[in-house]
Structure 1
Amino acid sequence: MGDYEFPRFYSFPPFFTLQPNEETRANQVSAWRNFILGYCAAHNVSQLEIQSALDSPLCHNAAIDRKLSEDALRLFIDDLVATRNAEWLTSDHTTALIMPATPDEVAAAIYDWIDTTGQIGDVLTVYELHSGDTTVGTSFHGLDAVLINRALDVLASQGKAKVFSASSPEDAGVKFFPA
């Protein structure tokens, strides 16, 4: 697992079983929310497929022979959806987009960067935003193209950008306007 350090509670067997006590479960859900976001960020996972995740170290601690149930994982992802840190990408809820930052937060970061670097009025592609050399070191560099597009939709709804569709999400263009 490289340099990723699992939280201490990852080795605590009850962490993998939905807790019946309401207060304990609320704490468990919060812990899983932070764990999923941290794990996915550390492993550059932006799209989480339920069945694959259940067999991965995210949901299966082989050292203590504990595995999260599918129902529990769905509950934790539903919590991430409620906090706007995830979005179900499929109607059958088998794949989720995991978002370490909400689309609103990413939109603000992109617009601040565009404004600071003097690119108001310029047209950029989604690819340039998430993988371009000029965005290295920004909070949005390396984010999934789907999340970048969600953020650009936020900016478009605020009148700060116009998105030009393309054949793929990465090829879409965006023009930025003064606030």
Structure 2
Amino acid sequence: MAHWSRIIVSYFRHYRLYKLELSESLNGELFYKKTIERRLNLETLQEIISEMVKEGTAEWDPPNKKTSAIIHWRKPEEWATLIYNWVFDNGMTNSILTLYEITHGELTEGLDQSVLLKALDVIVKRGQAQVFQGTSADDMGVKFFGVN
């Protein structure tokens, strides 16, 4: 299981992917080797992801179903540090940024919104930002404070 976990995390990091749809992925290159006609079955993949959840490199999304998962090739705490440092280094503290602006930086290009929200939660708990709720996630804003 640990070997599969490393392979999945490495694959997702390499391709900058975040969400694994279990049923769909069984036909993809990660879990299906066409040359030998061999594929991982759904139950085994669910067991692998369950182990990854225990070790903190994945989480079920939604939590009550085992149909898809977020793969953490960087944990929310790591994303929080990277995002805050990017804001600080680029002189954007004490200003409000939208989620769009945050996920379209070089470092965070394409960052999954659920991963971003978890990272922002960490930043808020550290006292480094405040989140302003909008009518939807797209309308949210984040004010980063100038304390590093």
**TM-score above 0.5, yes or no:** yes
Work out which of the residue numbers 88, 92, 96 in structure 1 matches 2:65: 92
Distance in 1 separating the partners of 2:109 and 2:140: 16
Give me the TM-score of the superposition, normalised by structure 1.
0.74
Paired residues of 1:127 and 1:145 also in contact (CA < 8 A): no
Work out which of the residue numbers 17, 22, 42 in structure 2 matches 1:45: 17
Give me the TM-score of the superposition, normalised by structure 2.
0.88
- The farther-off stretch of 85-94 and 100-109 is 85-94
Q: Which residue in the other structure is 1:64 paired with?
A: 36
Distance in 1 separating the partners of 2:28 and 2:134: 34
Distance in 2 separating the partners of 1:100 and 1:171: 27
Q: Which residue in the other structure is 2:142 paired with?
A: 174
Identity across matched positions, percent = 33
Distance in 2 separating the partners of 1:37 and 1:168: 30
Paired residues of 1:33 and 1:80 also in contact (CA < 8 A): yes
Distance in 2 separating the partners of 1:169 and 1:58: 31
Distance apart, 1:44 and its partner CA: 4.1
- The amino acid across from 2:25 in the alignment is A
Q: Secondary structure at the match of 1:87?
A: strand
Gaps of 5+ in 1: 1-28
1:155 matched to 2:123? The reply is: yes
Q: Which residue in the other structure is 2:98 paired with?
A: 125
Q: Which residue in the other structure is 1:7 paired with?
A: none
Instruction: Give the 5 Å matches for 1:72-111.
Output: 72-90=44-62, 91-111=64-84
Q: Give the number of aligned pairs.
A: 146
Question: Runs of 4+ in structure 1 displaced over 4 angstroms?
Answer: none
Gaps of 5+ in 2: none
Distance apart, 1:174 and its partner CA: 0.6
Distance apart, 1:70 and its partner CA: 1.4
Aligned alpha-carbon RMSD (Å): 1.7
Distance in 2 separating the partners of 1:116 and 1:77: 36
Higher relative contact order (CA 8 A, sep 6+): 2
- The amino acid across from 1:52 in the alignment is E
